[in-house]
Amino acid sequence: MRYCIGVDLGGTNIKAGVVDETGRILAEDSRKTKIPRPESEVCADIVETILCALSRAGLTLDDIEGVGVGCPGRIDSGRGVVVHAYNLVWREYPLCDALRASLHCPVYLGNDANVAALGEVWAGSALGASSAVIITLGTGVGAGIVIDSHILMGYNEAASEFGHTVIVHDGAPCTCGRRGCLEAYTSATGLVRMTREAMEQNPESLLWKLTDLAGVDGRIAFIASRKGDRTATEVVDRYIGYLACGLANIINAIQPEVISLGGGVAKEGDPLLIPLRERTYQEVFGGLGEKYTRIELCTLGYKAGIIGAAMLALSSAGQKP
Amino acid sequence: MRYCIGVDLGGTNIKAGVVDETGRILAEDSRKTKIPRPESEVCADIVETILCALSRAGLTLDDIEGVGVGCPGRIDSGRGVVVHAYNLVWREYPLCDALRASLHCPVYLGNDANVAALGEVWAGSALGASSAVIITLGTGVGAGIVIDSHILMGYNEAASEFGHTVIVHDGAPCTCGRRGCLEAYTSATGLVRMTREAMEQNPESLLWKLTDLAGVDGRIAFIASRKGDRTATEVVDRYIGYLACGLANIINAIQPEVISLGGGVAKEGDPLLIPLRERTYQEVFGGLGEKYTRIELCTLGYKAGIIGAAMLALSSAGQKP
């Protein structure tokens, strides 16, 4: 059996896991990232987290083929450098070199959303798919494209930002500076905005019995809709309509075998997924043939980041680190 | 030197060229397709066109590694079958088998737009690019994505239909059944519609001196704009705004090294390209870094189809036909 280490480096937590070639996590460990502090201290804690996870798995550094790290922000995977990570307050930090100096094994670096997408393809919702797009419906809308087991990073390693493709020309302002991005309508933040707007226009809605405007979150419209509230049902319908538009755009553009949805909003499950599939498939170019894109929910949760990072190392091991 | 044959099979013409490994066409020949008639007759003419082109190049079938064919419609490249081509009135036709029976050499099949995109990457505007998206602004909006010298065909070989991604939610009806597709705003047909709408609203426009509503084409707004007409300039600005929106969507989604524009509207050249670049780059996620997507005009014209088809054969030769 081949083993690699996957590290999910976030602004809040450092998580590391020992992963075998089948995508199974043998053991894990985690630490707080405690940002801001010097990069070298964070690095030392990454090493410690790795060694603890290895020890729990009954293995040592000699047993592993390499370490993969998923990191937020702009990455230069060729040089192994974190170019810019707002969450970590890092700029041009040679993370791979720093880790290699302590671990004496190959270290590979990737963007956290892309690495998590790789995890879902290796061991989750898109297991074995020739191509997949993983969409995260959280505060923003993240995207990772995997084709033939490789992350599509784009010419400048900044892909994919499907969340920042415009679906409503001159629509709602987006954090990126454009107007009408998919993210502005299908992130949890976008859903909160649409819920608040609907509440302001419908003082009789049940939504007012469940929350005030300040307390609106990404679940409340789904909850009130299930209780039969008309205003909330309209919000949910609008939300699903925008998301179906975005997924049909992805399908028409690149025809992946699977699209998987993760993040907070995806936790709604079937009440989201079933109408979403129906409405997306209505908009697919040329109609559904024998082979069509499956739309699924992500299954690995936070483990996608660890497993994907390990896969990055496993699939790169033997190539130039 | 290695040689292949590239065939561009269209509803009007059959074109064949002998292409060397540098992407140069040594000799060409063409015939009318004369649809509708039995597939076997079209096939016989394809063979004759190939043999004429070879003879003009001073070569024989023994000198070539294979034949590539670009064909409109839905293709199953693995089986070498034209699944459905409206233009040719063909359904489930095993074109590769039919040609192999006469030519006794490997034959490869691809969608015509995708194959032309490969041509631009091999020998045209996107020469040497690690990734490119070729957009054709004609009656419709065609798209071909090439990554690492391979066409991105998608799970069902129907990619890419970037033209049928929605940029204006609930916008103008598109031929595909959706509303607000990129094609509805940035095809020549879309430009004609917007020009007519502007003429109806502006009876004083110079456009009325140049044409009546029935005579509007995709060039007239650009012509009147160059003569200083305000209405026409507004149409051109709107057109470029929609196209910039679409190109920024492509960039944010997959970050290709190059986007090249072909088709009738692209013949406008710099008056289109210069403002288009400026407005597209304003919308790119995170701003332009050191590495950013170049926006170019296609340079090969109809030859892209021949060269790309030959490249399909050359890059596949040695693999299972």
Tokens standing for B74?
């839905």
Question: Looking at residue A9, which CATH number applies to its domain?
Answer: 3.30.420.40
Are A261 and A197 within one domain? yes
A77 neighbourhood in chain B, CB within 8 Å: none
Q: Chain B partners of A290 at a C-beta cutoff of 8 Å?
A: 156
From first to last of the 321 residues of chain A, give the pLDDT tens digit. Answer: 999 999 999 989 999 999 999 999 999 999 999 988 999 999 999 999 999 999 999 999 999 999 999 998 889 999 999 998 877 889 999 999 999 999 999 999 999 999 999 999 999 999 999 999 999 999 999 999 999 999 999 999 999 999 999 999 999 999 999 999 999 999 999 999 999 999 999 999 999 999 999 999 999 999 999 999 999 999 999 999 999 999 999 999 999 999 999 999 999 999 999 999 999 999 999 888 889 999 999 999 999 999 999 999 998 875 543
Rounded Cα–Cα distance for residues B146 and B115 (Å) = 9
Is B101 found in the same domain as B11?
yes
Q: Which amino acid is at B274?
A: I
Q: Inter-chain contact B249–A153, Cβ cutoff 8 Å?
A: no
From residue B8, give the alpha-carbon distance in Å to each of A9, B116, B125. 50, 9, 19
Alpha carbons A298 and A136: distance in angstroms, whole number: 9
DSSP letter string, A281-310: HHTSTT---SS--EEEE--STTHHHHHHHH
Residues of A with Cβ-Cβ distance to B131 under 8 angstroms: 154-155
Shortest CA distance from A285: residue in chain B: B176
Same domain? For A64 and A136 the reply is no
How long is chain A? Answer: 321
Q: What is the pLDDT of residue B321?
A: 36
Query: B70 and B16: one domain?
Result: yes
| Contacts for B292 with CB less than 8 Å, ≥ 6 apart | A155, A156, B281, B284
Inter-chain residue contact A256 with B155, CB threshold 8 Å: yes
Q: Do A254 and B254 touch (CB under 8 A)?
A: yes
Q: Is the dihedral of CA A31, A37, A43, A47 positive or negative?
A: negative
Q: Judge if B110 and B195 occupy the same domain.
A: no
CB distance A169–B171 less than 8 Å?
A: yes
Residues in chain B: 321
Tokens of A260: 């998987």
The beta-strand segments (E) located in chain B are 3-9, 13-20, 25-32, 67-71, 74-76, 81-85, 90-93, 107-111, 131-137, 141-147, 150-151, 258-262, 294-297
Residue B31 in any domain: the answer is: yes
In angstroms, the Cα distances linking A60 to A18, A95, A315, B220 are 10, 21, 20, 72
Q: Does residue A232 share a domain with residue A277?
A: yes
> Chain A contacts of B257, Cβ < 8 Å?
155
> Which of B252, B258, B291 to substitute to test the interface with A, most A CBs within 10 Å?
B252
Same domain, yes or no: B286 and B309: no
Mean pLDDT score of chain B, rounded to an integer? 95
- CB nearest A168 (choices: B152, B160, B169): B169
Residue A124, domain member (yes or no): no
CA-to-CA distance for A11 and B166, rounded, in angstroms?
35
Residue of A nearest to B155 (CA): A257
Query: B7: which strand partners?
Result: B16, B69
Whether A161 is covered by a domain: the verdict is yes
Domain membership flag for residue A204: yes
ipTM over 0.95: no
Closest residue in chain A to residue B259, using alpha carbons only: A155
What DSSP line would sit under B15-84, residue for residue? Answer: EEEEEETTS-EEEEEEEE--SSS-HHHHHHHHHHHHHHHHHHTT--GGG-S-EEEEESSEEETTTTEEEE
Looking at the domain assignment, is residue B54 inside a domain? yes
pLDDT at B320: 41
Residue A184 contacts by C-beta under 8 Å, 6 or more apart in sequence? A168, A171, A172, A173, A174, A190
How many beta-carbon pairs below 8 A join chains A and B?
133
Chain A residues with CB-CB distance to B292 below 8 A:
155-156
Determine, yes or no, domain membership for B321. no
Given a contact cutoff of 8 angstroms between Cβ atoms, the answer to whether B145 and B133 are in contact is: yes
Nearest CB among B162, B248, B257 relative to A253 is that of B162
Neighboring chain B residues of A291 at a CB cutoff of 8 Å = 155-156
Cross-chain residue pair A155–B253, CB shorter than 8 Å: no
- Are A255 and B154 in contact (CB < 8 Å)? yes
Q: Are residues B115 and B139 in the same domain?
A: no
Residue contact B166–A292, C-beta within 8 A: no
B119: number of Cβ within 10 Å: 34
C-beta atoms of B245 and A162 within 8 A: no
pLDDT confidence of residue B84: 87
Cα distance from B163 to chain A (closest Cα, Å)?
A: 8
pLDDT value, residue B267:
96
The minimal CB distance from A249 to the residues B155, B159, B165 is found for: B165
Does A9 share its domain with A94?
Answer: yes
Q: Which residues of B touch A156 (CB under 8 A)?
A: 255, 289-292
Number of domains in chain A: 2
Which two structure tokens, joined as six digits, stand for A321?
């680190």
CA–CA gap between residue B11 and residue A309 (Å, rounded)? 49
Distances (CA, A) of B175 to A219, A249, A260, B182: 37, 15, 29, 11
Report CB contact under 8 Å: A248, B154: no
Res B319: pLDDT: 54
Statement to judge: residues B143 and B276 lie in one domain: yes
Residue A105 pLDDT: 95
**CA A313 – CA A271 distance, rounded (Å):** 37
Residue A221 and residue A309 in one domain: no
pTM: 0.94
Residue A223 near residue A205, CB atoms below 8 Å: no
**Can you give the C-alpha Rg of chain A in angstroms?**
21
Q: Which structure tokens are listed for A177?
A: 């500076």
Q: Is the backbone peptide bond immediately before B36 cis, with ω within 30 degrees of 0?
A: yes
| Minimum CA–CA partner of B167 in chain A | A167
Q: Determine the longest span between alpha carbons in chain A, in angstroms.
A: 66
Q: Which candidate from A152, A158, A254 shows the least CB-CB separation from B286?
A: A158
Domain region containing A191: 129-297
Report d(CA B226, CA A31) in Å as an integer.
64
Q: What is the C-alpha to C-alpha distance for residues B298 and B267, in angstroms, rounded to an integer?
A: 9
Which of B155, B237, B292 to probe the A interface (max A CBs under 10 A)? B155
First to last CA, chain A: 21
Question: For residue B157, which residues of chain A lie inside 8 Å, CB to CB?
Answer: 255
Other beta carbons within 10 Å of B107 = 25
What is the 8-class DSSP label of residue A69?
Answer: E
Pairwise CA distance, residues A248 & A253, whole Å: 8
Q: Would you say residue A321 lies in a domain?
A: no
Q: Are residues A87 and A156 in the same domain?
A: no
Interchain contact, B254 vs A176, CB within 8 Å:
no
What are the DSSP calls for A185-221, one per residue?
HHSHHHHHHHHHHHHHH-TTSTHHHH--GGG--SSHH
How far apart are the C-alpha atoms of B100 and B43, rounded to whole Å? 10
Say yes or no for a CB contact (<8 Å) between B161 and A292: no
Distance in Å, alpha carbon of B181 to nearest chain A alpha carbon: 9
pLDDT at position A318, please?
A: 56
Low-confidence ranges of chain B (pLDDT < 70): 318-321
